[in-house]
Amino acid sequence: MNIIILLSIIAFVVILLACTYIYFSGSKDASRESKYHKHHKLSRHEKNPVISPLPFRTWEMGGTFNPAAIKDDENKVHLLYRAIGADGLSRIGYASSTDGKSFNYRSTYPVFEPLIGYGMPDPAKVTGPKVYDPGIYTSGGGWGGSEDPRMVRIGDKVYMSYVAFEGWNSVRIALTSIGLDDLKNRRWKWKRPQFLSPVGQVAKNWVIFPEKINGKYAILHSIVPNIGIEYVDNLDNIAQHIDSPRLHGPQPGRKGFWDTRIRGAGPPPVKTDKGWLLLYHAIDEREPSKYKLGAMILDMNDPSKILYRSPQPILAPDAHYENDGKPGIVYASGAVILGDNLMVYYGGGDKHVCIAETPLKTLLDWMVEYGKV
């Protein structure tokens, strides 16, 4: 009996020591994981989506998404969003907000229409149905028009770049502008567009920096395999098209990270005290059906240099309205700073306009600590 009791005590001690070892080892591993995998996520606006298709407006009944954004001197936020009509064409709608969240004005008609040769396709040259068809036209489902605008304010002008989509044989970046005062007063006096990209190259996700860098305007046209930037003297008269050869579709990203396949830049870069904040879209090969949003910090004077890069995505398509039209899509195309917060305006599911935000300092500090390149 004494031997049995002794063996039981020894077994108990062994089990206790093993459990203690496992506990402290697990704590150490958890601490290590916390150190290297601390996550930072944007907070979704509680009233998302803020703009959705209206079935009685034929020009935007197919989708209202992928908004461009600027802030004026009175901190009023102006959005230009992509709208797909019943005819399958993409046009640009407008909305404004005094607090950046509640959009109390929304245009009842398109404020920018695709022009012939600048997004208005020739039906005879487009192969496929001339209707809204997400199964064939994966770029939002439209067969032509003005897609995915980005907007920057430079002085008293507002520049809008967009994808002039005329079927998969013609996907180019176009640029137009409007006076800031005309935008604020909803006088839609757009300058005739010009092309930034050449014929024969598929061009998407180009963004313009909101101020000159080393005395020139900067246009970011690629982030893979390196940050590609073209410097120009005059945005109102581009001397020649920008050559930016790239493979069609997702580009190779970072192995072992969340962004193994890169889609492209999001909103125009935002100037911060740490450098240029660039949001971008990518796909994790383990979840190939989901667009996710990450961030880079680029050098202030030489933005071809990446200083920091988010180790995890800061926004993923987890909400129901991000899986409504085309499942698994968050596509940020506008961002402004309001107070201490970075406000990100994005398309959810190729159907809705949504908002997410974060304290800017918190995001930058997290990237500096965990995202050193």
pLDDT range class, residue 8, cuts 50, 70, 90: low
SS3 assignment, position 72: coil
- Report pLDDT digits (tens) over 106-136: 999 999 999 888 888 887 777 777 878 877 7
Which tens digit of pLDDT belongs to each residue from 149-204? 999 999 999 999 999 999 888 899 999 999 999 999 999 999 999 999 999 899 99
- Say if residue 265's pLDDT is above 50: yes
Between 251 and 322, whose confidence is greater?
322
Express each pLDDT in 322-366 by its tens digit. 998 899 999 999 999 999 999 999 999 999 999 999 999 999 999
Question: Residues of the chain with pLDDT > 90: what percent?
Answer: 75
- Please tell me the distance from the alpha carbon of residue 278 to that of residue 299, in angstroms, as a whole number: 11
Q: Where does the pLDDT of residue 37 fall: very low under 50, low under 70, confident under 90, or very high at 90 and above? A: low
Residue 334 CA, distance from chain mean position? 7
Q: What is the pLDDT of residue 127?
A: 75
The pLDDT tens digits of the residues spanning 355-367 come to 999 999 999 999 9
Q: SS3 for 200-264, per residue?
A: CCCCCCCEECCCCECCEEEEEEECCCCCEEEEECCCCCCCCCCCCCCCCCCEECCCCCCCCEEEE
47-370: CATH class:
mainly beta
CA 96, CA 100: separation in Å to the nearest integer?
8
How large is the average pLDDT for residues 81-87?
A: 95
Provide the pLDDT confidence category of residue 252 given band limits of 50, 70 and 90. confident
Domain ranges of the chain: 47-370
Q: Do 224 and 246 form a contact (C-beta atoms < 8 A)?
A: yes
**pLDDT tier for residue 247 given thresholds of 50, 70 and 90:** low
pLDDT for 309: 97
Query: Hey, what are 13's tokens?
Result: 């001690």
* Pairing state between β 115-116 and 105-106: unpaired
pLDDT recorded at residue 358: 98
What is the rounded CA–CA span in Å between residue 296 and residue 298?
A: 6
pTM, two decimal places = 0.89
* Confidence at 24, pLDDT banded by 50, 70, 90: very low
